Amino acid sequence: MRPMNDHAPWQLPPDTLAGAVARCATRLDEAGVAFGHGTDNPWDEAVQLVLGVLGLEDGPDVAGRPLAAADWDAIAAVLDRRIGERCPLPYLLGEAHFAGLRFRCDPRALVPRSPLAELIEGGYRPWYAGPPPRRLLDLCCGGGCLGIAAAVHAPGLTVVLADLDSDALALAAENVARHGVARRVSLRRSDGFDGLAGERFDIILCNPPYVDSEDLAGMPAEFRHEPAAGLGAGDDGLDLVQRLLPTAAQHLEDHGLLLLEVGNSWPALEARYPRFPFTWVELERGGHGVAAITARELRDHAGALAYNAGAVTGQD
């Protein structure tokens, strides 16, 4: 029989990892925490929490493993913080899973969760139609998850990670080292494209701040642990995007592709540029508001990208 340790009877440690997951899931559910940082339900979050604290990978024989009392204490401590502080779990664990990789994760940058992962892992098909891509830009890179995942998944690729925030770039540098891609991945401090004059890429991945003021005001407490400059982008969420789009073509090869994430702000983007032919990607793993925009479209419809072009000129 299990020794009692110092636990009160109602706090007896679960016997197995599966029991710990069930206990955590129940408490997360009852506490009404918000999800959206890599999971979308209490069970998946509990799995991440238990495995993350114990440093284990999921697998067929994991659930039935016996759980030591000290391990439950460590799990319970993180669970208490997750609930009490409403802190995103990856910040508490110091690590996030993204595109099949593990990234160092802390409040210097947003928790990785972009649906662009699906396109990176799928080789940008069917959206990229050029020769095998050689240069890729991850603009607004945060902790570097998109560009580093791109480099890991395509060994021939050279990648530039660019962000305005030096703290985010410092985290990105740690992730570059962690994944051993320093020979192919460089870092650049840049305000939009300003620090990238004269540079062209086959593919640009861009997950900029795009949350509009209404969504921002309604975000759960968990999101307030993230850097504000990574989320909010003015009344309609387009403050940065409307600066980037008119100049993006200058940084793409003729066959190039911009994959731009704007999430809930996609209707605002359509409304802002009513004559631009946006193509919205259907995402198999969930998410929305990712536009696939070719260099040719950016050039052919440059007039439609002038600020409020439609309203002002009435033509492309």
| Near ligand SAM in 110-139, by CB under 6 A | 110, 112, 114
Report the helix count and the strand count for the chain, using DSSP H and E: 12, 8
Helix or strand run (H / E) with residue 296: helix 295-300
Classify residue 223 as exposed, middle or buried by CB count within 10 Å of its CB (0-12, 13-18, 19+): buried
Q: Which CB, 20 or 117, lies closer to ligand SAM?
A: 117
* 240 lines the binding site for ligand SAM (CB under 6 A): yes
Determine the interface stretch with ligand SAM among 2-10, 61-69, 104-112, 149-157 (rule: CB under 6 A). Answer: 104-112
- Asked if residues 241 and 291 have their Cβ atoms less than 8 Å apart, the reply is no
As a whole number of angstroms, the distance between CA 163 and CA 192 comes to: 8
Q: Residue 202, interface with ligand SAM (CB under 6 A)?
A: no
Q: Which is nearer to ligand SAM, 67 or 244 (CB)?
A: 244
What is the smallest separation between the CB atom of 193 and ligand SAM, expressed in angstroms? Answer: 8
> CB of residue 127 vs ligand SAM: minimum separation in angstroms?
18
Q: Is 142 in the site for ligand SAM (CB under 6 A)?
A: yes
DSSP strands (E only) in the chain: 95-98, 101-104, 135-139, 158-163, 185-189, 201-206, 252-261, 290-294
Considering only the stretches 77-85, 207-215, 217-225, 269-277, report the one whose residues sit in contact with ligand SAM under the rule CB under 6 A: 207-215
265 near ligand SAM, judged by CB under 6 A = no
- The answer to whether 88 contacts ligand SAM (rule: CB under 6 A) is no
Among positive and negative, which fits the CA dihedral 10, 12, 13, 18?
negative
Candidate ranges 79-87, 122-130, 164-172, 268-276; the one touching ligand SAM (CB under 6 A): 164-172
Residue 159, interface with ligand SAM (CB under 6 A)?
A: no
Q: What are phi and psi of 42, to 5 degrees?
A: -60, -35
Phi first, then psi: what are they for 145, rounded to 5°? -60, -40
208 binds ligand SAM (CB under 6 A): yes
CA pair distance 294, 128, nearest whole angstrom: 8
189 near ligand SAM, rule: CB under 6 A? no
Contact present, 163 and 172 (Cβ < 8 Å): yes
168 counts as binding ligand SAM under rule CB under 6 A: yes
Residue 227 corresponds to which tokens in the numbers above? 């850097």
Stretch that binds ligand SAM, among 22-30, 43-51, 105-113, 289-297 (CB under 6 A): 105-113
Nearer to ligand SAM, 14 or 142 (CB): 142
Q: Is 290 in the site for ligand SAM (CB under 6 A)?
A: no
- Cα–Cα distance between 210 and 265 in angstroms, integer? 7
For the record, the structure tokens of 155 come out as: 């060994």
| Residue 165 in the binding site for ligand SAM (CB under 6 A) | yes
Kindly state the smallest distance separating residue 260's Cβ from ligand SAM, in Å: 12
Residues within the interface to ligand SAM (CB under 6 A): 109-110, 112, 114, 140-142, 145-146, 163-165, 168, 190-192, 207-209, 229-230, 240
